[in-house]
């Protein structure tokens, strides 16, 4: 065995022992089921990771994510990674990413999603655009969860993330407890193009955390109508069935 390989192996063993010790004194718990995490597990235990409620239909044309936009926005194709349901693992995951500062989990799941999409969908996408937060909200939260999901997706799809194309100009109130019409009234006109980058002639993938009624994404796609020769697709980490 070469000396460098010996030291590499030795270093790995020390790291593993150190992590085992840390786990002993500062146990980490699975977001999904609350079980104690071991060794290389982070955020989710192996059985929760295997049991993620994945939307296998996503990778087919005319899936339910695409059909949700029919008659509302011209979407080239759309896909979501996980089914979103209240009181389930997917809600815990989304809360963790959005409200508990765990942006790295968003990135990691984005990467997993991207590895499933690669070569199957969004093959000719030029760049990914996360749905922007209003500047005030961004300052309060410190990060845009959709941007971190987009980062992970972009790593797998090997495309850039552009955050200078569109901005949120209105800080709208919460969408919950509103009907479809009220939701749309609440969000239309909240996004606008920044014109900082030439995007005509491109295929853009808009990325959001959760798709519910689709009003926010529909509003996000709206400003692109003023441009010619542009195609828009949509990817979200989770979607309500």
Helices (H), the chain: 3-25, 46-50, 64-67, 89-99, 103-117, 135-141, 145-157, 180-187, 215-221
Q: Should residue 125 be labelled a site residue for Zn ion when binding is judged by CB under 5 A?
A: no
**Helices 89-99, 103-117: crossing angle, 10 deg rounding:** 120
Q: How many residues touch Zn ion (CB under 5 A)?
A: 6
Q: Should residue 221 be labelled a site residue for Zn ion when binding is judged by CB under 5 A?
A: no
Q: Should residue 89 be labelled a site residue for Zn ion when binding is judged by CB under 5 A?
A: no
Cβ closest to Zn ion, residue 35 vs residue 54: 35
Cβ closest to Zn ion, residue 33 vs residue 120: 33
Cβ closest to Zn ion, residue 32 vs residue 223: 32
Query: How many angstroms separate the Cα of 236 from the Cα of each of 15, 53, 137, 175?
Result: 35, 14, 20, 17
Widest Cα–Cα separation across the chain: 69
Cβ closest to Zn ion, residue 52 vs residue 240: 52
> Which residues, numbered 32-71, are part of the site for Zn ion (CB under 5 A)?
32-33, 35, 45, 48
Q: How far is the CB of 56 from Zn ion (least distance, A)?
A: 21
Q: How far is the CB of 39 from Zn ion (least distance, A)?
A: 14
Q: Should residue 30 be labelled a site residue for Zn ion when binding is judged by CB under 5 A?
A: yes
Q: How far is the CB of 49 from Zn ion (least distance, A)?
A: 8
Q: Should residue 96 be labelled a site residue for Zn ion when binding is judged by CB under 5 A?
A: no
Residue partners of 153: CB distance under 8 A and separation at least 6: 110, 111, 113, 114, 117, 128, 205, 207, 235
Q: How far is the CB of 117 from Zn ion (least distance, A)?
A: 25
Contact predicate 196/164, CB 8 Å: yes
Cβ closest to Zn ion, residue 49 vs residue 222: 49
Q: Return d(Cα 105, Cα 94) in angstroms, integer.
A: 9
Q: Should residue 131 be labelled a site residue for Zn ion when binding is judged by CB under 5 A?
A: no
Q: Should residue 105 be labelled a site residue for Zn ion when binding is judged by CB under 5 A?
A: no
CA neighbor of 80 nearest in space, from 96, 69, 95: 69
Interface residue list for Zn ion (CB under 5 A): 30, 32-33, 35, 45, 48
């Amino acid at each position: 065995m070469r000396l460098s390989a010996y030291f590499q192996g030795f270093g790995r063993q020390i790291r593993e022992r150190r992590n085992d010790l840390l786990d002993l004194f500062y146990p980490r718990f699975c977001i999904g089921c609350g079980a104690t995490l071991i060794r290389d597990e982070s955020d989710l235990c192996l059985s929760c990771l295997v049991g993620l409620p994945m939307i296998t239909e996503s990778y087919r044309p005319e899936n339910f994510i695409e059909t949700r936009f029919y008659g509302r926005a011209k979407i080239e194709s759309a896909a979501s990674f996980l089914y979103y349901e209240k009181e389930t693992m997917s809600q815990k995951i989304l809360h963790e990413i959005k409200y508990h500062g765990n942006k790295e989990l968003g990135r990691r799941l984005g990467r997993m999603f991207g590895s499933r999409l690669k070569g199957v969908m969004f093959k000719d996408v030029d760049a990914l655009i996360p749905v922007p937060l209003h500047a005030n909200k961004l300052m309060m939260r410190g990060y845009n969860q959709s941007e971190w999901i987009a980062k992970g997706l972009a790593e797998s799809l090997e495309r850039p993330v552009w955050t200078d194309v569109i901005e949120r100009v209105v800080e709208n109130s919460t969408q919950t407890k509103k009907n479809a019409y009220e939701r749309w009234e609440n969000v239309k006109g909240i996004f606008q193009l920044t014109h900082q980058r030439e995007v005509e002639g491109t295929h853009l993938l808009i990325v959001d955390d959760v798709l519910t009624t689709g009003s926010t994404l529909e509003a996000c796609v709206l400003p692109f109508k003023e441009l010619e020769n542009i195609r828009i697709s949509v990817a979200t980490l989770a979607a309500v069935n």
